[in-house]
Amino acid sequence: MRIGELAQKAGVTPRTIRYYENLGLLHPSEREGSGFRYYTEAELLRLQKIDCLKALGLTLEEIASVIDLYFEDPTELKAKQKVLTILQAHLQETDDKISALAQFRSELLFNITKIQKCIEQINSQ
């Protein structure tokens, strides 16, 4: 199939397909004598897997580190283990951010209370 047909089936734009090829997420397909790119069902499956991994919250860089594993091992065990590691790292980063935000919130509340007391003191004089 040509790039337009692949894009339509995968729900992406031809530009996205070219971008993914440049990133190495999608392996360049063969070109016929006319210069058109032709794609197989394998590229469609890769695009669908990329979409699933994006939906999990992986970055394109992270997807690049794991995508080939899905197609090298029929059980997908190594790929899933790597995705699990990535997601666990995302969770830790999220927990760290939540903790930092909670600390910042506490500091804001303290400063708000402090300034309100100052205002009240000035008003009561």
Residues ≥6 apart with Cβ < 8 Å to 22: none
Per-residue pLDDT of the chain (125 residues; tens, 9 = 90+): 899 999 999 999 999 999 999 999 998 777 766 777 789 999 999 999 999 999 999 999 999 999 999 999 999 999 999 999 999 999 999 999 999 999 999 999 999 999 999 999 999 98
**pTM over 0.85, yes/no:** no
What would the two tokens of residue 112 be? 């708000």
